[in-house]
Amino acid sequence: MYNLHTHSLLSDGSLLPSEIAVRYLAAGYKVVAITDHVDYSNIDLVIPAILKFTRNWPKDSKIKVLPGVELTHLPLGQFASMVKYCRKKGIKIIIGHGQTTVEPVFQGTNRAALEADIDILAHPGYISDDDTKLAQERGIFLEITSREGHNRTNSFVAKQALKFKAKMILSHDSHEPEDIISPAQLRKVGIKAGLTVSQVASIYKDTAKFLEKI
């Protein structure tokens, strides 16, 4: 079981990366990514910290911890250069903070993030047909989230993804200990979004294939 969207106290979460890893292991997960919010103000502080932590995490641990970031509230023209910078530094999971309906986000953010070849478009809100098609063409995951507020458009995102055969991913977007739910509960988030049991299973197969390439 995998969760590739978490936030530590390196951005707006409340837990150390080590606490996140231990809590996800206890909850039954095999892979977790630390994906703290970054923009130009903190990227050179957060990336080295995450990389130092993940590189020193025990190789024989029962949970694998991957280094990631969430590019958050960026001006549209910054996505491409930021993605390249993060890849060059060694970041494995790049999330774009999508156009959620519960926060002010620049119009066009979904498109700019997708064009920059991120890995996951988080909480993309009422994502357009054209942007969903682009996600499908580029193999970028659209997030179905358990995060309160962001999850209000899960059903819409799922319908769009199914309509255009875009990949989906289930994730927590966890910030606090209580955000960490069990694998069974996370599957129910997918079911609540209108997906079948077999469709949820396919999501995890796609996620596993993605992780094999990292």
The domains of the chain are located at 2-212
Contact between 67 and 91 under an 8 Å Cβ cutoff? The reply is yes
The pairing of beta strand 2-3 with beta strand 168-171: unpaired
Closest by CA position to 132, among listed 95, 160, 151, 106: 160
Q: What is the pLDDT of residue 132?
A: 98
pLDDT digits 0-9 by tens, 50-101: 999 999 999 999 999 999 999 999 999 999 999 999 999 999 999 999 999 9
What pLDDT is recorded for position 155?
98
Residues 6+ apart with CB under 8 A from 126: 99, 101, 153, 156
Which CATH class, in words, describes the domain spanning 2-212? alpha beta
pLDDT in tens, 138-172: 999 999 999 999 999 999 999 999 999 999 999 99
pTM (predicted TM-score): 0.98
Q: What is the mean pLDDT of the chain?
A: 98
pLDDT tens-place string over residues 23-59: 999 999 999 999 999 999 999 999 999 999 999 999 9
The pLDDT value given to residue 53: 98
What pLDDT was estimated at residue 186?
Answer: 98
HSE (side-chain half, CA atoms, 13 Å) at 19: 14
